[in-house]
A and B are shown apart, each in its own frame.
Chain A
Amino acid sequence: MSRVELREIQKLYGSLAVVKQVSLVVNEGEFVTLLGPSGCGKTTLLRMIAGLEQPSSGALWIGDEIAFSSEQEICIAPEKRGLGMVFQNYAIWPHMSVLENVLFPLRCHHVPRTVARERALRALAAVQLTELANRKPHQLSGGQQQRVALARALVAEPRVLLLDEPLSNLDANLRNEMCDEFISIRKKYPVTMIYVTHDQSEAFRLSDRIALMNKGEMVQIDTPEALRQSPQNDFVRGFLLLK
């Protein structure tokens, strides 16, 4: 578990600022949601935390380590950041079985074989997929693939878990079920979570704090209750459909 700190992170594509001077602190073990309309730069921000995209300027700490700093010209490669991530389309590797998918992060961290297997099976059990361990991804339903992605993201006990709209490809029933799953997972694997969504009901249900974004800017960062009770401006009121 680690805290994450973003300081004045900015991302330009050409001359267009997609993420503008965002600062944010996520405390150890906290569940923070990046909420905002589609196209506001949530995915870009999350990918910069993961190291898949390089910020144009700013600084980023994960735990006590500096992961990116434009001033000191530091940029740690994604594989060295010790993160877990659930992608919007799950990104389950099609040529590996479910178990091999979950084993892969452990292999990368050179965990001994027998220990790795044990941990992978434990992670699969945590998402109730033990029986499907030897299936191939194309034999799974969307919801099951989602669970594999979750198990794979958690198995190496990452410092921070990043989730990019993990529920957007599921139908309403499954979405509800998976929300409960996230809550119970948090108890089994205590981890700092940064969760991206455009759906406020998910955000309000899951988060300790919500960071509301609009057009690349951080509008308000608050607990769900505070956000409801004292929206900072018209955008927040409009987006949350408050009076």
Chain B
Amino acid sequence: MSTETNPTRGITGDGAAQADRVANRRVRRILFGCAAITVLTTLAIFFVLIDNAVSYFYGLRFTEALLGASLEKSVTLTEFFTGTRWAPDHATPGHGILPIVFGTLSITVGAAFVSIPIGTATAIYLSEYASEGVRSKLKPTLEILAGIPTIVYGYFAIAFINPVVLSPIAETLFGIHLGRYSMLSGMLVVGIMTIPMVSSISEDAMSSVPDELRNGAYALGATKYDVSTRIVLPASISGVLASYILAVSRALGETMAVTLAAGFNAQITANPFDEIMTMTAYMVSMARGTSAVGTIEYQSLFAVGLVLFVMTLVMNLLNDRLKRRFQEEYR
């Protein structure tokens, strides 16, 4: 059949199209491979955590148990989840995780009280009030703030926030002598660290609110404040809430800054000037401590890690839920 009389020529597979399809398939495989790596890594981390955590509670790893070794109870789940003394490497060990969960949660909540209001206000200012000139300077500054290594924030807390800002306040107002570490210093430094996260993501969400909505409100005699709070904020609420959750997740898992700021004394206390210990701070101190790998006190690392992992996971799921709910509402 000659090419001129074959009407399907050009749309059915000839050499070139075939080659295209093959290339297409290859690209798809490579892309899928990359996506698969992240999924596999997550699963691997989860598995290692569980495997080692099991040995904390039962004296041997999950994998060893599968191979037929016999279990010997070491730490009970009851003690772990309800005990109020955390000192796995002490001469008389305590295995109650509550003090360090308290440490992590108090820092997270305290930090949220700093980052959410300031971050949201900054985002509103940048998106609605700031002139082009101010915005073009402030935004990069915030991004620099977000890029500073967290250990630097830690030293900022230890060298400035705690001794220069908090110590005089504690001394003069409450008569408390402040040590090197304090819960409040941890809250503040983690809060400051996560402001750029809230402000930058919220600002993106607010800037993407169409100007027609703003103009509609201005034309009704709304003030800038009305437009910001009653039009822009509600219309961008899903992005704003997502930024909050991201900041909170970050605070939950924050390690270096909080270790240097809040300290290593696992205790439940209502005094913000006390030294406390977060889960991450415990993990840092244990990982670089003298306990031998495989001992119960060393394996506690993984049990704590698993709990932290689950807490972060819950935040992520919450994020998804909120996002979907508000997207429906404001679409």
A and B: partners?
no
